[in-house]
Structure 1
Amino acid sequence: MDTSISLRAVGAEAEQAVNESFSRINELDALASSQRPDSDVAKINAAAGKHYVQVDPAVYEMISFARDYSEKSSGEWDITVGVMTNLWQIGTDSQHVPSRAEIDQALQLVNYRDILLRPEDHSVMLAREGMAIDLGGVAKGYAVDEIRKIYEQHHIESGLINMGASSMYAIGKTSKGKAWNIGMKHPRSDTDGNYLGIVAIEDQNLSTSGDYERYFIQDGVRYHHIFDPRTGYPADSGVMSDSIVVDSSVPHGGMLSDILTTVVFVLGPEKGLELVRTMPGVECEITAADGSVYMTDGFKKQFSELNGDFRMAP
């Protein structure tokens, strides 16, 4: 999962729940990582334009959900940007700004409609050779959903699932009977305790995306890992970071919150808020590049201690 993971659980079967959860995370990482040559994702990418690949039901569910959401978001979200991830290599020793011609060529291979699904045997095919999918924006959220199921099986009524702070779920209240207070990452500071602010969550998913996670700066320009599928470049929407809260009543809340952080980042503050306000059980915070902070009304009720480096948008 390429992140530090922390699992907390309170209850008679807490140790079993945590141990089973870590085993499940390891299974999912082996299946969904594009960096492992034996993973289902790597096999799909290698067979692009050639043949279907039968995959684990978990991988099929991630891809199917992601494809459906690509349709709903009119392509603002598209897991076939894997070809861009491979081209730019952001976060590796080979990271660089590709030529315009390379980007234009790669863009021809970005199209969620070319993800072919065969539900009867959980098989997937990419229609054209050279295509690649990347489940980095959905796998952690799927893992959170899976851990929630394991916690429920072991009757855990208080706990925190933390997939590296970018994908979280809070079960019930803390041992002190309060909501879980989560420090939101300051997008321009790595100082411990220097947060953007605090959000209190209870029986809710919380996902965060930012241009600080994997990036490099060249000629004064920050190139980050959140790509705009329409341009082939890192999204330039005036957003530094954004956070999504999804209520426990919403199906697939982990995957949905992960996907929405990317969609909102690409859309920008105004369009991002407009989208989230149409979705029951979903709240949103967006930190703009100029230091303005936008929130839905529901998010404001859960938020406190805004850092002095930022200001609430009118």
Structure 2
Amino acid sequence: MKRISRAVIILTAFCLIAAHLTGCARVTELRLFAMDTLLDIRLHGNTADSLEADCDKLVSSLEDKLSATIDTSEVSGFNQSERGCTLSDETSSLLSLALRVADAVGGFDVTVYPLVELWDISHAADDWTPPDSDEISDALVHVGADKISLSGNELTKTDPNTKIDLGGIGKGWAVGSLASTLADEHPEAWGTLSFGGNVATVGTKPDGDYNIALRGPSGTELVGEIRVESGIVAVSGGYERYVDYDGRRYHHIIDPATGYPSENDLLSTAVYTAEVTPEAGALADALSTALFVLGYERAAMLVDSGALDELCGCEVGLVLITSDGNITSHGALKEAFYSYGSES
């Protein structure tokens, strides 16, 4: 068994790289570690001396609420409870968005955590082996959005063994929160934030669009770039974290319907939302996972039909890389994605 752990200094999934023109303005670059990944901040223009401390405080506060591995977090409090618990306004707002995606799209379910724990791909040791079908069936019994109910800030469950994981939506919320806060507090600054496969723009780039380059699944070549005035891009791919065992690769994105790592015709998805808000970031993050699980045909249809624009309350775009290397762009990215190779 060979375990692959890609260095977190390289952004996961498509690996997003924001292209900047430094000009003559002051450039502030920060790198923080939070939520088990790197947060990279690059801003042009005047920023406050407290920038690093302010960013660290915001992200740490979110992690303390949302982490499934911090015993004192709200998520852990729910997971350890028999019937449920009271959430903060922020956590309940985020969970509400997650449930909307699960209901409207499918392929994304925060109650998948019993399966995430069972597979444990992100922390696999050298003696890792895949769970057997009976173990997966037993875990699936406790999975399903119908097993939890959110009323205001009260989250309850009908199954004591049901657990939630907000890892597939929390970083998007965090990057949207940070970007919108920085834009408000540093109105003359502009730049980008990169956080765990999510990139958000901050402010208005004075000389034109932001260029957000997408790296392909190989991790070595750029496949194209997104050119937009502003927005958030979230990416997902089965090559971010995986384990090779007995000639087969198992990645970390679990299909909540089957209990197994998703298998379809996609290598990766990149979802773009035109707004820069916590909600838009969270939805982009969750949708990148959901559409990856659903596969090419359904993912493309949902974006091309405009259904996700309505769900997100803003324009949504999509770039897909299929298992045969084909690259397609959809929705708001149909004309805003520029491929470095062939695109259909």
- TM-score, normalised to structure 1, is 0.88
User: Which residue of structure 2 lines up, in the alignment, with residue 272 of structure 1?
Assistant: 299
Contact 1:21 1:150 in 2 (8 A): no
Shift of 1:183: 2.3
User: Which residue of structure 2 lines up, in the alignment, with residue 179 of structure 1?
Assistant: 209
Shift of 1:14: 4.5
User: Which residue of structure 1 lines up, in the alignment, with residue 167 of structure 2?
Assistant: 136
Shift of 1:33: 0.9
What SS does the aligned partner of 1:149 have? helix
What SS does the aligned partner of 1:91 have? helix
Contact 2:210 2:227 in 1 (8 A): yes
What SS does the aligned partner of 1:227 have? coil
User: Which residue of structure 2 lines up, in the alignment, with residue 223 of structure 1?
Assistant: 250
Contact 2:175 2:278 in 1 (8 A): no
Which structure is richer in relative contact order (CA contacts within 8 A, separation 6 or more)? 2
User: Which residue of structure 2 lines up, in the alignment, with residue 301 of structure 1?
Assistant: 335
* C-alpha distance in structure 1 between counterparts of 2:318 and 2:239, whole Å: 19
User: Which residue of structure 2 lines up, in the alignment, with residue 252 of structure 1?
Assistant: 279
User: Which residue of structure 2 lines up, in the alignment, with residue 38 of structure 1?
Assistant: 72
Deviations 1:189-237 (A, max 9, x none): 3x3xx22222223211100101111111223322111111110011112
Structure 2, unpaired ranges of 5+: 1-34, 310-314
* C-alpha distance in structure 1 between counterparts of 2:78 and 2:134, whole Å: 26
Shift of 1:147: 1.1
What SS does the aligned partner of 1:299 have? coil
- Measured on the aligned residues, the alpha-carbon RMSD in Å equals 2.0
> Where do 1:187-202 residues align within 5 Å?
187-189=217-219, 191=220, 194-202=221-229
* C-alpha distance in structure 2 between counterparts of 1:200 and 1:91, whole Å: 32
Deviations 1:26-82 (A, max 9, x none): 1111211111111111111111xx233122222211112111221112x32111011
Contact 2:303 2:331 in 1 (8 A): no
* C-alpha distance in structure 1 between counterparts of 2:167 and 2:159, whole Å: 21
Shift of 1:13: 4.0
* C-alpha distance in structure 2 between counterparts of 1:7 and 1:249, whole Å: 15
Contact 2:179 2:201 in 1 (8 A): no
Deviations 1:108-127 (A, max 9, x none): 111112112231xx232232
- Number of equivalences: 300
Deviations 1:234-285 (A, max 9, x none): 1112111110111017882101100110111011111101001223300101
Q: Bigger CA drift: 147-156 or 288-297?
A: 147-156
Shift of 1:83: 0.9
* C-alpha distance in structure 1 between counterparts of 2:239 and 2:53, whole Å: 31
What SS does the aligned partner of 1:290 have? coil
Structure 1, unpaired ranges of 5+: none
User: Which residue of structure 2 lines up, in the alignment, with residue 235 of structure 1?
Assistant: 262
Q: Letter of the aligned partner of 1:255 in structure 2?
A: A
Deviations 1:107-157 (A, max 9, x none): 1111112112231xx232232022111111110011122113312331435
> Where do 1:118-137 residues align within 5 Å?
118-119=151-152, 122-137=153-168
Q: Bigger CA drift: 149-158 or 23-32?
A: 149-158
* C-alpha distance in structure 1 between counterparts of 2:74 and 2:331, whole Å: 41
Q: Letter of the aligned partner of 1:163 in structure 2?
A: F
Contact 2:232 2:276 in 1 (8 A): no
* C-alpha distance in structure 2 between counterparts of 1:249 and 1:85, whole Å: 29
Q: Letter of the aligned partner of 2:303 in structure 1?
A: V
Candidates 97, 121, 134, aligned match of 1:101: 134
In the alignment, structure 1 residue 52 sits paired with structure 2 residue 84:
yes
* C-alpha distance in structure 1 between counterparts of 2:184 and 2:51, whole Å: 8
Contact 2:183 2:203 in 1 (8 A): no
* C-alpha distance in structure 1 between counterparts of 2:184 and 2:234, whole Å: 24
- TM-score, normalised to structure 2, is 0.81
* C-alpha distance in structure 1 between counterparts of 2:43 and 2:52, whole Å: 7
User: Which residue of structure 1 lines up, in the alignment, with residue 17 of structure 2?
Assistant: none
Contact 1:20 1:150 in 2 (8 A): no
User: Which residue of structure 1 lines up, in the alignment, with residue 25 of structure 2?
Assistant: none
Q: Bigger CA drift: 166-175 or 82-91?
A: 166-175
Instruction: Note closer, same or farther for the CA distance 1:8–1:249 as it changes in structure 2 (3 Å cut).
Output: closer
Q: Letter of the aligned partner of 1:72 in structure 2?
A: A
Identity of aligned residues (%): 28
User: Which residue of structure 1 lines up, in the alignment, with residue 177 of structure 2?
Assistant: 146
Q: Letter of the aligned partner of 2:237 in structure 1?
A: G
* C-alpha distance in structure 1 between counterparts of 2:40 and 2:94, whole Å: 22
User: Which residue of structure 2 lines up, in the alignment, with residue 2 of structure 1?
Assistant: 36
What SS does the aligned partner of 1:96 have? coil
